[in-house]
Amino acid sequence: MTPQTGLPFMKMHGAGNDFVVIDSRGRGAVMTAGLAQALGDRNRGVGFDQLAEITDSDSADFGLVFWNSDGSQAGACGNATRCVSDYVMRGLGAETVSLVTARGGLRAERMKDGRVAVNMGQPQLDWREIPLAREVDTLRLPLDGDPVAVGMGNPHCVRFVADAEAVDLAAVGAGHEHAPLFPQRTNVEFASLLGPDHLRMRVWERGTGITLACGSGACATAVAAHLRGLTGRHVVLEADGGTLEVDWRDDGVWLTGPVARVFDGVLSPDYIAAHR
């Protein structure tokens, strides 16, 4: 970034879950809460579900920091991780990469069909790790709809419903996001069973609102469905924006799906200066 050239960025998406990606390697982190919030505005900025900033790492091929459109940070973002891993793998000429997020060390790989998979680590099932405000049965939360709490580096509240299409996401999702039981707020997923190991999922993300898909949410939903006895450990999920596949293995929860690099752009120096 220079005063003359501005700040380059990429627009990417995974199953309709869309991201602004900024590569800060070699120059230090450039993102701030104010700039992230401004960029997240779909009318006055670029617009995104999350922003992913690529950073240098001494212990992995790269690091990742995630921002929500309200300027808050997110601890994990599975679809953004897959998109950025695809970009880095192409740059390295590799089929696998290692990365570090607030979640810890992760690994991603390219599948033969072009999709990208990432190991999101083991789910957090203890109420302290999710985190919840007090000790409760995480498989039967004392909230409307009898939801399940699962941590995937960020908190999730998963509700199983007869028909996910009929849910008023804006009304019900916002209420769960701000439930006192979740001190850091929560992502909310609504899922219905379509068939054996096949779920329909819709998402309300904390700090963002309705999104077309959520990678960590798909992982949390698949884990919750298995723990409730609704599915096995390998699940296909139909999100609003596309199909995601989750496989809960011994080494972690693997998320697989499509990735797309839509366009590249440059933020003007004046825009950056105005929103620092």
Longest distance between any two alpha carbons in the chain, whole Å = 58
Give the Cα separation of 137 and 77 in Å (integer).
Answer: 25
By residue count, the chain amounts to: 276
Q: Are 10 and 20 in contact (CB under 8 A)?
A: yes
Parallel/antiparallel/unpaired status of strands 198-205 and 234-239: parallel
| Helix, strand or coil, per DSSP, at residue 219 | helix
Give the Cα separation of 219 and 207 in Å (integer).
Answer: 19
Phi-psi region for residue 234, left (φ > 0), alpha (ψ -120 to 50) or beta?
A: beta
Q: Distance of CA 210 to CAs 18, 61, 165, 229, Å?
A: 12, 32, 13, 27
214 is catalytic: yes
Q: What amino acid positions are annotated as catalytic residues?
A: 77, 214
